[in-house]
Structure 1
Amino acid sequence: MDDDGNYRFDISGFIVLPGVLSPGEVATCNEAIDQMLSGGDDLPPTAGACDSLVQLRDHPVLAGYAESLCGEGFRLDTGPVLLGAGGKADGRLSGGGEWRDWSRAYFHRNGVRHCQGLMAVWALCDVGSGDGGLVVIPASHNSEVETPEELLSGVDDMGLLEQPILQAGDLLLCADALVRGVQPWHGAGPSRLLSYGFANKHVRPHDWSNLDADDTYSWAVDLPSAERAVLHDPQREGQPAVVRPEGGTSRIDLEPGIYHPSIYVRNPDAAIDEKEFYHWDLCGHLLVKGAMDAEWLAAANEAIEANEDRIVRESRDGDKPSVRLQGANRSKMAEVWSLPEPHCEPLRRMIAHPEVVSRLNWMMGSGYEATKCDAFCSKPGAAGIHLHAGGTTQSELNHYTFRNGRCYCEYVNVAWQLRDVTAADGGFCYIPGSHKTAYAMPAGILSADDDMGMIKHLEMEAGDLLIFLAGAQTHGALPWTGAEDRRCVLLQYRSRNLSWESASARKRR
């Protein structure tokens, strides 16, 4: 994998390789599948021996990526399977980084990436927007927070679910730890997404079978059931039994499964919204809807308008070269909490508002301080801001860590929206999950000229509150193209762990 591919896969958990198969190869595979289906929906057990499908399984492009991700000696684990055949859909999503199924986990250790399981999906038909089929939650392979039940069950997709757009001949690869599923098919013609699963050579097969062909121990038949359950059995099939202590002996649960107790329990007094916590850990930002009422919003806008003489046009000398982000100089009003009375009041109210404090307490812990309060006031046509920050920046200021049920970070930005931001307006953009990447930002991401489909724009309404990792999440701004001036107030909060020196103090020094 090249640097761009590593960056994309590490952050999003999946990558699309376009045009791996020619139209002729796609047609040959579809013909073979049509013959095997014979009016049915599912491939027969003998499908894996079909010459056309064997060529897909052993395709050199797939083999090269599988070895790069799963390691030398990787092996076939599942497939071939037609995803969504006959209109079938999954009842719930599967995958996720927590709890951690180590046999299918994705992680970095000692500078080495480990992708224990990989799903490869050959697109043998076009998949357009809204067609259904495979859906994923980008970055969920790196999440260490349990996926909310309502998200898994489909009750609330939280705006996180993404359906990859594919062309016939494309190859999609995704980490087995990525949250994913199959939705009902609405595309033209039958769904033709053919999947294979691959695994690292050291991990168990998906069906829990043993690869050991040895005979069982002859003396094991005389052991009590708990001892037999714990003793290695080459003939075992299915999940292992759960053995628990009971009094002075051990017993077996009636049903097989997984029992892995934790010393931690959820704190009902923490007042942390489960979905918000998951979203923050997953993406690196959080949008709080309707944090400002109409009266407060009007007063904040009036404060900006009454002091327009304080708006300055920023120099663009520090901008990085970019075609996509070009435009006129941006404008802002600095230190708006220092405006004269009464205009400072609606802005100072933002400093320790309960909507902010309640979330900063679990995002970075108490003791944080607000160090900056600026208003963004760019006019239509103003330039964007190059993408910056991210998990690989070498600084003490940018880290994000989740440990023992708590998340840690050192700088958080809080942006109060004073005007609507539509999809066509530009402004804040970000890369979800970039706060956890182990790979450097490609030049095309920094300039936004080649965003690899990763840069997202966030629609917001006046009165909304955006909280994001200032140093850890890769973010920037698209050129402002709204009908009115951009209008938001940004406060920056520093954790209790860092020292602080103002710009004026640095100049004196």
Structure 2
Amino acid sequence: MRCGWFWRVTRPMRRGGGSRWGDTTRRSYTMLTDAERYLFDLQGYLLIEDVLKPDELADLNRVLDEYDLWNEPSGQDGFFDFWRNGDCQIAAGPLHRFARPFRNIVGHARIVPYLADLLGNQFRYDHGQAMLMRTGGGPFHLHGGAVPWEPGMRFQVAGGQFHCELLVVQYALCDVGAEDGGLCVVPGSHKSNFACPESFAAFEKTGPWLKHIPQQAGSVVIFTEALAHGTLPWTADHERRALFYRYTPGHMAFVGRYREDGCEMADGGYPQPAHSAEGDWSRQERRILEAPYIWKRADTIGQE
């Protein structure tokens, strides 16, 4: 179990004697342990236990109960942007527009250091959904992977630093047992030189290359979108509840202005300045929600 983190203050540096762009690769803080760094590079993911406290879990589940997403209307006139996979699996967003308990973990103190180390100090929140599954929901095929190459999902290590283009933080709001189904990955596939066979992606063939990740409620799986991942059928009696928060470097956006149903979103798919002007966002949370740009972008963390 990770035991906290600390900042290592450094003087601001610029590459090449002072780039006008600022230093987009500098890491100002000590983040991952040596073991975590090795495992993320090796596997493409990390499992972090005990991130959410019992009261945080209770608040998140309470709000989901109140939202009653299974019975919410989908479509352009609805508040929620839905993705559906059959009758027993839904995802709804955008999480940064949900109630305060969901906004509290956009910049969760336990997770922010990982984001800065894996994405750079100027990381931003891009988009996210709540995933719900009933017994019999799924599967959803393997996707992601290093081949074919997708610029928005790049994974690279250069100069001893990670460079991820899209990073997923998945919070478990319920226990996920070894036989329950849910999130599965192909460890190491973020560095594969060959495409995942169709029979593997469709789960027509399974084997030791496919890893299901059991989780306790409150734990987190962080993985690069370049890692082949998917959803195994949900077999547990209780409902699966998971939150997927996705982050990018500060200079890029992954989602645009379109909903899952293909309709254009009037105010854009990713966070807009008007969104963070609402409510009681902290200064750091507002920086996390900033729109993508690179020119003189300030670090997301470490300043108030």
In structure 2, which of residues 179, 183, 187 is the aligned counterpart of residue 424 of structure 1?
179
In structure 1, which of residues 378, 382, 389 is the aligned counterpart of residue 144 of structure 2?
389
Tell me what 1:301 maps to: 61
C-alpha separation in 1, matches of 2:258 and 2:239 = 28
Alignment deviations for residues 225-256 of structure 1 (CA, whole Å, 9 cap, x no partner): xxxxxxxxxxxxxxxxxxxxxxxxxxxxxxxx
C-alpha separation in 2, matches of 1:379 and 1:394 = 33
Against the structure 1 CA distance between its residues 269 and 496, is the aligned structure 2 distance closer, same or farther, given a 3 Å change threshold? closer
Matched, 1:463 2:191: no
C-alpha separation in 2, matches of 1:271 and 1:386 = 33
Q: Give secondary structure in 2 for the equivalent of 1:397.
A: helix
C-alpha displacement of 1:333: 2.8
Tell me what 1:410 maps to: 165
Structure-to-structure mapping, 1:182-193, within 5 angstroms: none
Alignment deviations for residues 333-368 of structure 1 (CA, whole Å, 9 cap, x no partner): 3224423xxxx1211111011211100111111222
CA contact (8 A) 1:314 1:329 kept: no
In structure 1, which of residues 478, 497, 501 is the aligned counterpart of residue 232 of structure 2?
478
C-alpha displacement of 1:330: 1.3
C-alpha displacement of 1:415: 0.9
CA contact (8 A) 1:311 1:377 kept: no
Tell me what 2:278 maps to: none
C-alpha separation in 2, matches of 1:306 and 1:333 = 14
C-alpha displacement of 1:497: 3.5
C-alpha separation in 1, matches of 2:60 and 2:88 = 24
C-alpha displacement of 1:416: 1.0
Matched, 1:345 2:100: yes
Matched, 1:507 2:286: no
Aligned sequence identity (%): 25
Structure-to-structure mapping, 1:319-330, within 5 angstroms: 328-330=87-89
Alignment deviations for residues 15-59 of structure 1 (CA, whole Å, 9 cap, x no partner): xxxxxxxxxxxxxxxxxxxxxxxxxxxxxxxxxxxxxxxxxxxxx
Structure-to-structure mapping, 1:375-386, within 5 angstroms: 375-386=130-141
In structure 2, which of residues 155, 166, 171 is the aligned counterpart of residue 400 of structure 1?
155
C-alpha separation in 2, matches of 1:439 and 1:364 = 25
Letter in 2 for 1:498: M
Matched, 1:364 2:123: no
Q: Give secondary structure in 2 for the equivalent of 1:503.
A: coil
Q: Give secondary structure in 2 for the equivalent of 1:350.
A: coil
Deviates more, 1:346-355 or 1:424-433: 346-355
CA contact (8 A) 1:370 1:493 kept: yes
CA contact (8 A) 1:311 1:331 kept: no
C-alpha separation in 1, matches of 2:229 and 2:153 = 12
When the two chains are superposed, the root-mean-square deviation of aligned CA atoms in Å is 2.4
Tell me what 1:283 maps to: 43
C-alpha displacement of 1:314: 4.4
C-alpha separation in 2, matches of 1:384 and 1:371 = 25
Q: How many residues align?
A: 228
C-alpha separation in 1, matches of 2:244 and 2:127 = 8
C-alpha separation in 2, matches of 1:484 and 1:413 = 24
Higher relative contact order (CA 8 A, sep 6+): 2
CA contact (8 A) 2:257 2:265 kept: no
CA contact (8 A) 1:311 1:332 kept: no
Alignment deviations for residues 278-301 of structure 1 (CA, whole Å, 9 cap, x no partner): 111010011110001111111111
In structure 1, which of residues 478, 490, 494 is the aligned counterpart of residue 244 of structure 2?
490
Against the structure 1 CA distance between its residues 405 and 329, is the aligned structure 2 distance closer, same or farther, given a 3 Å change threshold? same
Alignment deviations for residues 108-128 of structure 1 (CA, whole Å, 9 cap, x no partner): xxxxxxxxxxxxxxxxxxxxx
C-alpha separation in 1, matches of 2:263 and 2:251 = 20
CA contact (8 A) 1:331 1:376 kept: yes
Where does structure 1 lack aligned partners over 5 or more consecutive residues?
1-266, 317-326
C-alpha separation in 2, matches of 1:483 and 1:311 = 25
Alignment deviations for residues 465-503 of structure 1 (CA, whole Å, 9 cap, x no partner): 111112x10000101111111111111112223245321
Against the structure 1 CA distance between its residues 346 and 269, is the aligned structure 2 distance closer, same or farther, given a 3 Å change threshold? closer
C-alpha displacement of 1:506: 8.1
Alignment deviations for residues 450-479 of structure 1 (CA, whole Å, 9 cap, x no partner): 124211100100000111112x10000101
Q: Give secondary structure in 1 for the equivalent of 2:91.
A: strand
Against the structure 1 CA distance between its residues 334 and 269, is the aligned structure 2 distance closer, same or farther, given a 3 Å change threshold? closer
Against the structure 1 CA distance between its residues 440 and 332, is the aligned structure 2 distance closer, same or farther, given a 3 Å change threshold? closer
C-alpha separation in 1, matches of 2:73 and 2:32 = 38
CA contact (8 A) 1:428 1:458 kept: yes
Alignment deviations for residues 345-393 of structure 1 (CA, whole Å, 9 cap, x no partner): 2111110112111001111112222122211111111121100110112
C-alpha displacement of 1:270: 2.0
Tell me what 1:197 maps to: none
Q: Give secondary structure in 2 for the equivalent of 1:351.
A: coil
Letter in 2 for 1:361: A
Tell me what 2:14 maps to: none
Alignment deviations for residues 289-336 of structure 1 (CA, whole Å, 9 cap, x no partner): 0001111111111010011144868444xxxxxxxxxx7541233224
CA contact (8 A) 1:420 1:461 kept: yes
Against the structure 1 CA distance between its residues 345 and 311, is the aligned structure 2 distance closer, same or farther, given a 3 Å change threshold? farther
CA contact (8 A) 1:284 1:432 kept: yes
Q: Give secondary structure in 1 for the equivalent of 2:50.
A: coil
Tell me what 1:451 maps to: 206
